[in-house]
A and B are shown apart, each in its own frame.
Chain A
Amino acid sequence: MIEMEVRRKLQGADGELNLNVNVRIGAGELVALYGPTGSGKSSILRMLAGLMLPDEGFIKVRDELWFDHEKKLNIPPQHRDIGMVFQEYSLFPNMTVRGNLEFALGRNEDRHMVEELLDVVELRGLQDRRPALLSGGQKQRVALARALVRKPRLLLLDEPLSALDFGMRGRLQEYIMTCHRRMNLTTILVTHDYPEVLKLSRRILVLASGNLAYDGPPEAFLEQMGNKG
């Protein structure tokens, strides 16, 4: 479903980084993008979302080109079939929980999806609250639901759980799994939390200083690391 061959120079805290990634991801997969801070994980997600442009290469999703450097083609984020959840929630402070979800609706779109998602992430009781009055876990549930209102095929999660405490993480992982299965999503989860990878995903992409260092089942990666150590 996703074909991605991208290169880009990044400026990080440890100097320059050459991101160079070729990867294919099948429809319906839940893939974890794992690696230390500054390895380029979030940049890959942002390139898929259209929030960052690669220097070279192409991105193709379901035979549709989203980006092609040579053809000078770039589909803006608005027209990519994605839902994105940001690390810092990024809820609109001026809107209620329901308002945040309804904002994502297009003109004349029916509200059925909003109702369904309010139930899926169990937020109906909080629908009239502003984000300022929600806990971290509740905020991230709103962000997850909001990202799904437009029924995207591709769900991009940028360290969605890193700001949450342990107990809350477990709950939210359940919500992510539920949505992933229920809506037939292809999901890419950026994380640096290994237990999370083991729990959620059957495939892990490990990034090390801009390159793909491992691609396969998470258990095998652990063994490989164990053998090395």
Chain B
Amino acid sequence: MLDFGPFILTLKLSLITTAILFSIGVPIAYWLAYSRHKAKVLVEAVVALPMVLPPSVLGFYLLLAFSPQNAFGAWLSEHMDVQLVFTFQGLVVASTLYSLPFMIQPIQSGFQQLPRSLTEASYTLGKGKMTTLLRVLLPNVRMAIVTGCILAFAHTIGEFGVVLMVGGNIPGETRVASIAIYDEVEAMNYDAAGIYSAILLVFSFIVLATVYLINFNQRKKAEMR
């Protein structure tokens, strides 16, 4: 009987990660899109890092940082009673960092593509920054937000290196689908690995096709204007 535990864990991890990324991604993307501060360049570079770094490098540094033998990990463990190495919470933190660019970049570029005069029109109509963000800007970048959420979700499902470094392979805690596949292959269970892989393949394809369909429809709509 096939164990679906890794899939449920993967889905749980992806959903939680996407929810966290959504709540921190929108404000960061807004700041990056509109700030004229020089430090923004550095933040942009940091946000984009997970796109070019091998996941094992990110995972390695996170492992060091989370380890109770080091300052940050020790502080977390003593003052917060939080253990991030080889735990599900640790995976959530690592995944959030790992998928950060996939949420932020689409939303940031969505904001940047909106004409500046929409914001200015809203200001001259007496509305403050918050009202303008909630009622004018966000509704007009909703497709970028949907794209960001789908990409972040899909990217989290596909992660392997970071999870392996930070979480290891503990059933029910950190053994997500991609790790389970690796594990089955190691144990020469090619049938199970094949089924796991096929499920991930089909799922990823559907997710990407959805994103491109959304973009296609958006472009068609824009051309009709």
Tell me the bound Cα distance from A78 to B123 in angstroms.
Answer: 5
Determine whether B219 belongs to the interface, using a CB cutoff of 8 Å to chain A. no
Chain B, interface size: which category? 10 to 19
Residues A103 and B135 in contact, CB atoms below 8 Å apart:
yes
When A78-B127, A106-B126 are in contact, do A90 and B115 touch as well, CB less than 8 Å? yes
Assess whether B199 is interfacial by the CB under 8 Å rule: no
State the total of A-B contacts with C-beta under 8 angstroms.
62
Q: Is B51 an interface residue (CB 8 A)?
A: no
Q: Which residues does chain A contribute within 8 Å of B117, judged by CB atoms?
A: 86, 88, 90
**Smallest CB separation, B144 vs chain A (Å):** 13
Q: Mark B118-159, 1 if CB is under 8 A from A, else 0.
A: 101111111110000001100110000000000000000000
B115 contacts across to A, CB distance below 8 A: 88, 90
State A82–B126 Cα separation when bound (angstroms).
9
Query: Is B126 a contact partner of A78 (Cβ separation < 8 A)?
Result: yes
Q: Is B224 an interface residue (CB 8 A)?
A: yes
Residues of B within 8 A of A78 (CB): 123-124, 126-128
Chain A residues with Cβ below 8 Å from B140 are: 92-94
Determine whether B225 belongs to the interface, using a CB cutoff of 8 Å to chain A.
yes
Chain A stretch 42-87: residues in CB contact (< 8 A) with chain B: 49-51, 76-80, 82-84, 86
The answer to whether A51 and B123 touch (CB under 8 A), given A90-B118, A92-B136, A93-B140, is yes
Distance between Cα atoms of A106 and B125 in the complex (Å): 9
Chain B interface (Cβ < 8 Å from any Cβ of A): 115, 117-118, 120-128, 135-136, 139-140, 221, 224-225
Question: A-B pairs with the 3 shortest C-beta distances?
Answer: A94-B139, A90-B117, A90-B121
